[in-house]
Chain A
């Protein structure tokens, strides 16, 4: 029986539609905050008196930083869900792991792209091989892109669940190693040169950033929820298709035909059945 608040034939529900509307509203408010109400990052050099800073590029951070934080949250959720797959072995954990990984990977790609676009005017380069966070995020992206590729190869679904869970956990375990090795490698990082602390963070800038976390939190929540529902449907559709194919097969032959085929006579059949 479909829930009262579900619209039949879609993955929407009253709750998720409300969530979606609130998320979109917040996104609009964030846009206003980021572009209209806050100012550019302009600082005066103490000795030369020149203006310097990120200027308007700082407005990108209201997008980039929340997405980065939520990306980590998604991957952590995937790791937790993967543990759930190995321990509990219910479909819920598996669909959740897959959903969190996919949303996380989308965010990761966007973090890399927005970071690069932000980096061009501020650091004067599209890419920097020595930057710790950049390298770690890149490897993270590659790791989970591999996870998603593994997921797409449809062999035995039960095996695939556990295999994918192991891959996700190995990926997550690998991250500290990656971080350490890149950090030692160059021992300098552009990210450190212009951290959030360096910005002139006034109240409104900080508020906008926090509001950005809230907004993208809602957006990611909505996306993960929808992705979960789609994943659940996919699973159910396969199970249902297999189940009905089997039932169809069974119903193609009646009991009498089956008996005749294997050479059971009417009398013998009569004894066996009530």
Chain B
């Protein structure tokens, strides 16, 4: 396949960055969750949050 190096670089960097970002988000979610009472963790579950 021609330009194989470029293809590997382009696809590789993209998948690594997107995958890494996703993992970081998942990990951050896991570390933040215990800090918050259960009923406030999700927008759908939270009581009315229209306060400013």
Contacts and interface: CB of A to CB of B under 8 A. Distances in A.
Q: Would A and B touch once assembled, by the CB under 8 A criterion?
A: yes
Interface of A: 1-3, 6, 8-13, 27, 35, 40, 55-57, 59-60, 63-64, 67, 89-92, 95, 106, 109-110, 113-114, 117-118, 120-121, 158, 219, 222-223, 226-230, 232-234, 236-237, 239-241
Interface of B: 1-4, 6-7, 9-11, 13-15, 17-18, 21-22, 25-26, 28-30, 32-46, 49-50, 52
Contacts of A226: 22, 25-26, 29
Given A56-B3, A121-B3, A232 B33 contact: no
8 contacts: A3-B45, A8-B38, A10-B33, A11-B26, A56-B2, A117-B6, A226-B29, A240-B40
A89 B41 CA distance: 20
Contacts, number: 127
Contact of A60 (B10, B39, B44, B49): B10
Contacts of A63: 10-11, 14
B2 A106 contact: no
Contact of A9 (B18, B25, B34): B34
A35 B29 CA distance: 34
A158 B52 contact: yes
Nearest to B45: A3
Q: Majority SS of interface residues in chain A?
A: helix
B42 A232 contact: yes
A240 B39 CA distance: 11
A121 B2 CA distance: 10
A55 B7 CA distance: 11
